Amino acid sequence: MPIVRVALNVPVGTLFDYYAEHADQENIGLRVSVPFGKRRLAGIIMEVVANTEVPPEKLKTIQSIFTDNPPLPKELLNLFAFCSQYYHHPIGMVIMNGLPAALRTTKPIKPKKDHSATWNNTQLRLTDAGKRIALSSIPKRQRIARNLLVRFQQVESIPGEAFKEDSSRIKQLIQQWLVSGWISTDSSPHSAQDNAVTDSNIPTLTVEQDHAVNTILSAQSHFHVSLLHGITGSGKTEVYLRLIAAMLMQDKQVLVLVPEINLTPQLEAIFHNRFPCTNLISLHSGLNDTERLQGWLQAQTGEANIVLGTRLAIFTPLPNLGLIIVDEEHDHSFKQQDGLRYSARDLAIFRSKQVNIPVILGSATPSLESYHSAITGRYRVIQLTSRAIKNAALPTIQTIDTRIHKTFNGLSQPLLQALRTNLSEQQQSIIFINRRGYAPTLLCKSCAWTAACVRCSSRLVVHLRDKDLRCHYCGHQERLPIHCPECGNQDLTPFGQGTQRVTETLNTYFPNARILRIDRDSTRRKDAWRSILQKIHNQEIDILVGTQILAKGHDFPNLSLIGILNSDNSLYSTDFRASERLFAQLMQISGRAGRSNNKGQVLIQTEFPDHPLYQALQKQNFDALAKNLLIERKIAGFPPYVHQAVLRAEAHRIETVIDFLSTAAKLAKDYESIELFDPVPAQMLRLKGMERGHLLVQSASRKQLQIFLLQWQKQLSTVPTQKIRWVLDVDPVEL
């Protein structure tokens, strides 16, 4: 009887052998249900062999092979295998991490009933009656209906298949509107070439954009990495669109990775407008299990032409993949920080090499690793040095010295005056402060007590509207105390500023202004961000107060002023990447201003106006700062001149952690070409009730580091760890 080798979602880095009657090589990649101890587990067939080292009496038989969806392609299985080897994570856990939840169960997939069958292959458009429907006539609580109407108003027609991934509620609305006569259908069969249908407002490429497109397409038939280094507003998205159009004309699929879920609505709208007959799916954490499964299956069968997603989308099966685009490639959100600690950007490069296609890394502020690869010739660098819109110029960046101009609730008089002037000119403004909540600390001035989290080494953040204190790391909440628990003083003071407090202050100064707060709290509801974007573009908002959600990839034509608060905090960081991150963040948020014909202005409140980072930012000279930082990194022996891995451990007591890490360090003493640091407590010692520490290892050779990690992991697996959890983090972005 044939024997199948199965990957299971268990913390063991091996495959498990089972008898499987009638199994053959064509079954590789199929999902199975197998007995495992007293449980039944789902797994993936990785190999079909004739022999096994397992004694026959211990070999069990699989319970079922599921054929309700195609097998995982060999290319994807190879990607999983590489990911397991490079990040030293069990292969079964790697695979199950990359699959939709519905494929991790021992149940067959139930085919989804599609209520859109009657209009799936047609074009949907607003009728004359539909065009007369005002958005204001739909109650605000009916968000889905309002968003759907706006979607139809933005384009002439939408293919019915574009709604395949959407919720049943949207399909019900379409059916109702067809009956009501708001929308109509007409048959519109199309070929692969029709996928590239565009609207009549396609902008003319600048000389630099045209060069970028032609350079990449000239080598589209083989693997290469292009770093598209374009200033904010230089039209990187338009370059993406032209490249996607070229791929669609060849009936190829395109994978577009973005760092955060909040960037998907705007890109979705842009892609739908440019490619109205193209099946676009989005894959991100905001989808429910059914939505993600349906989109994933459409990609696997080749029905989806464009896949737009966050880091997990890198594991999407794409049989006709022709191009991968990683937008905002510098963003650390591409690195998973728990479980399988992979970098989606790095896997995108491996996957492109695997199938011999180009990959584009786009950013206004590339990571120093990518920038170093570009200047040393490993990557091809393509520059976009001017803004794409005629007469649009980079914003002027100025500092406000808060040693001279004192602030009230975080706002200085020069900044308030600039806001006042901008309001009078009916232009939009952003106040950027990367801290949500009302205030980061609740302080007793009598005894200096501060509200601290009981589970983490962090202070609780004041959320005044809800009258509670919250930990932004573990989610712990408690009610605001009425007196100090240490001395009984009732005069407790919120100390510092968060988005809520700044919004409250601005409402006091500008009572007639339309002010909106944007952070993780205000965008938690599904489709909230899409609705907010619509308000911004409709100029229903005067001042936005927000966190880093606002910094990336957004295009607000009427935005001309940006005020930046509390950026000095990052200058005190012990993280060697802090300067790189701060510069990228400030450059990104500054780039939101002045993207059309409006002159942009950025005001940074700081106590250190002469700091080299702010000086480089004012000159908008990324290259100068990057080269200086690379010199510092080389002298200090930091990436990209070395390759790092961190052994992270956690237990209920830090002494247990340090003892384990010390034992691990002794096991690593005899390895040459490996630099070993002392075990240390984590910067945030306590997180979610566990105390943490780490041990850093590095080497000038990536190959030597990988050889060491493979042997070290085997040694570590022999160390008793009943009271401790540990994980290897390869290429860490946080220490």
Ordered mean pLDDT values, 10 residues apiece, the chain (735 residues) = 92 92 89 93 93 88 88 95 96 95 88 57 80 72 79 83 75 72 63 45 88 93 94 90 92 93 81 78 86 90 90 95 96 93 97 96 95 95 85 86 92 95 93 90 92 94 91 93 92 90 94 90 74 84 89 78 92 88 91 80 94 91 92 94 96 95 89 91 94 96 95 91 92 91
Same domain (yes/no): 343, 424:
no
Same domain (yes/no): 63, 128:
no
> In which domain, by residue range, is 676 found?
643-730
Q: What pLDDT shows up at residue 288?
A: 85
Q: What pLDDT shows up at residue 695?
A: 96
Same domain (yes/no): 217, 294:
yes
Same domain (yes/no): 624, 688:
no
Q: Which residues pair with 8 in a beta bridge?
A: 43
Residue 629 CA to residue 582 CA, distance in Å, equals 13
Same domain (yes/no): 261, 356:
yes
Domain endpoint, select from 577, 608, 631: 631
CATH number at residue 702: 3.30.70.600
Residue 4 CA to residue 19 CA, distance in Å, equals 6
Same domain (yes/no): 182, 201:
no
CATH number at residue 33: 3.40.1440.60
Same domain (yes/no): 94, 149:
no
Please check whether residue 170 lies inside any domain of the structure.
yes
Handedness of CA 646, 647, 649, 654 (dihedral sign): negative
Same domain (yes/no): 180, 214:
no
Same domain (yes/no): 505, 368:
no
Please check whether residue 482 lies inside any domain of the structure.
no
Residue 264 CA to residue 530 CA, distance in Å, equals 9
Q: Which of 232, 244, 370 is nearest to 307 (CA)?
A: 244
The 10 Å Cβ neighbour count of residue 639 is 18
Q: How many domains does the chain have?
A: 5
Residue 388 CA to residue 543 CA, distance in Å, equals 25
The 10 Å Cβ neighbour count of residue 131 is 11
Same domain (yes/no): 238, 286:
yes
Q: pTM for the full model? A: 0.85
Q: What are phi and psi of 182, to 5 degrees?
A: -75, -35
Dihedral (C-alpha) 341, 551, 209, 598: value to the nearest 10 degrees?
A: 180
Please check whether residue 478 lies inside any domain of the structure.
no
Handedness of CA 602, 608, 613, 619 (dihedral sign): positive
Please check whether residue 111 lies inside any domain of the structure.
no
Q: Read off the tokens for 267.
A: 């890109």
Cis-peptide into 259, omega within 30 deg = no
DSSP 334: G
Find where tokens 């859109």 sit: 116
Please check whether residue 559 lies inside any domain of the structure.
yes
CATH number at residue 562: 3.40.50.300
Q: Which residues pair with 693 in a beta bridge?
A: 649, 681
Please check whether residue 287 lies inside any domain of the structure.
yes
DSSP for 472-502 reads TTT--EEEPPSS-TTT--S-EEEES--HHHH
| Helix axis angle, 236-249 to 264-274, nearest 10° | 50
Please check whether residue 115 lies inside any domain of the structure.
no
Same domain (yes/no): 308, 428:
no
Residue 226 CA to residue 239 CA, distance in Å, equals 12
DSSP for 188-253 reads ----TGGGG---TTPPPPPHHHHHHHHHHHTTTTS-EEEEEEE-TTS-HHHHHHHHHHHHHHTT-E
Same domain (yes/no): 530, 412:
yes
Domain endpoint, select from 48, 73, 104: 104
Find where tokens 């200058």 sit: 571
Q: What pLDDT shows up at residue 185?
A: 78
- In 28-182, which residue ranges form alpha helices assigned H by DSSP? 74-87, 91-98, 128-131, 143-154, 168-180
Q: What pLDDT shows up at residue 554?
A: 72
Please check whether residue 462 lies inside any domain of the structure.
no
Residue 4 CA to residue 18 CA, distance in Å, equals 5
Q: What pLDDT shows up at residue 135?
A: 76
